Amino acid sequence: MIYNFLTNSSQFHIPTVPPSPPISLDPQIQNQNQTPENTELTERNMALVSSPPVNEGPLFAEVDMGADTSAPTVRATVVQASTVFYDTPATIDKAERLLAEAASYGSQLVVFPEAFIGGYPRGSNFGVTIGNRTAKGKEEFRKYHAAAIDVPGPEVDRLAAMAGKYKVYLVMGVIERDGYTLYCTVLFFDSQGRYLGKHRKIMPTALERIIWGFGDGSTIPVFETPIGKIGAAICWENRMPLLRTAMYAKGIEIYCAPTADSRDVWQASMTHIALEGGCFVLSANQFCRRKDYPPPPEYVFSGTEEDLVPDSVVCAGGSVIISPSGTVLAGPNFEGEALISADLDLGEIARAKFDFDVVGHYSRPEVLSLVVKDHPMSPVSFASASGKAESSHI
């Protein structure tokens, strides 16, 4: 079943996709591909097979290859919306409105985009050229640093309370502040309002490296929950085969991919990961227009500002949900802010793994193996009086 919801609760349909069926929680899902044309073709082909005598049973027992009604189904939503830039309290207020709406549709898992809280500074160069950093760029970083959040901290407490209030598992992209280093981070919360942990992006892309630190192997979690094993990789680190392999080895079943990449080719990467990992892939991206960022000269899109008007789209979304078989369940949406939802039949994971289990029966550990250093990599350690080393950060 496929559901695409706009944030005004009206139903949204991708133009090239047939209209979605009405919402139904009935576990007996009808064949949505049945048309008069293929019905006639099927009946004509069936006529070529001779029927058994009337008084004899069928030659073969009927096997139901549809969804296993004993396997749980999880309703998931990816949020496609923009940050309120430089205004973290307003952004969290917006997140709560979107979370409440997703919960009203029966969603059990809600995934927000990369850097939703704190903002993705698209188009900015922070005044950096090789060998020089401008005063204006340094002030821009000061404001960006102020919009980030501490983990743990009051904003994390509020997000946890929101997850508990609406009884959903919440995956939230944030900019994390650790002293004067920022990290592009994903936070995880359960439906009881508990903070589960975080993933820090291990490899920022291109100019992101001047504003974000590098995560290490201590924050590559996969959380076992009643709705499945959940983890996340952020934007282009999804293109790192070894990181994906580490997550597959941890048993990930619901693979969250918050991103800032709205190009068509992103869809190919998401489909590949679903097939490779035998997992559901939930990719959430922001949809932003120029007017969602502060106006110039406070904020400038370097090299393109003169070509932009307030309604110019600067990030076109493309959020999508894909099954372990590579089937697109919902999206991609390139039209505007939206809540994009689908029901995940968790029984499909086992069916996909029967074909291909990259860290199981389809692996060759005697030929190829991976070592993951999963301990914190602190730049400074202090030796206590007992001789035991103590890290400067937990």
Catalytic residue among 37, 40, 114, 208: 114
Query: Tell me, what DSSP letter sits at residue 113?
Result: P
Environment class of 181 (CB within 10 Å of its CB; exposed 0-12, middle 13-18, buried 19+): middle
Q: Is the peptide bond before 294 cis (omega within 30 degrees of 0)?
A: no
Write the CB contacts of 204 (distance below 8 Å, at least 6 apart in sequence).
184, 211, 212, 213, 214
DSSP-based three-state secondary structure for 256: strand
The β-bridge partners of 338 are 6, 80
Q: Write the secondary structure of 303-335 as one string of H (helix), E (strand) and C (coil).
A: CCHHHCCCCCEEEECCEEEECCCCCEEEEEECC
User: 381, 391 in Cβ contact below 8 A?
Assistant: yes
Strands 228-232 and 132-133: unpaired
CA distance 20 to 200: 36
114 is catalytic: yes
CB 338 within 8 A of CB 287: yes
* Residue (of 130, 112, 297) closest to 207 by Cα position: 130
DSSP for 13-74?
--TTSPPPPPP---SS---TT--HHHHHHHHHHHTTSPPPPTTS--SS-----S--TTS-EE
- Angstrom distances, CA of residue 282 to CA of 94, 119, 234, 279, 330: 21, 20, 11, 10, 10
Dihedral class, residue 152 (left if φ above 0, else alpha if ψ from -120 to 50, else beta): beta
d(CA 130, CA 132): 6
* Helix H or strand E segment including 103: helix 88-104
Is the distance from CB of 155 to CB of 93 less than 8 angstroms?
no
Catalytic site positions: 114
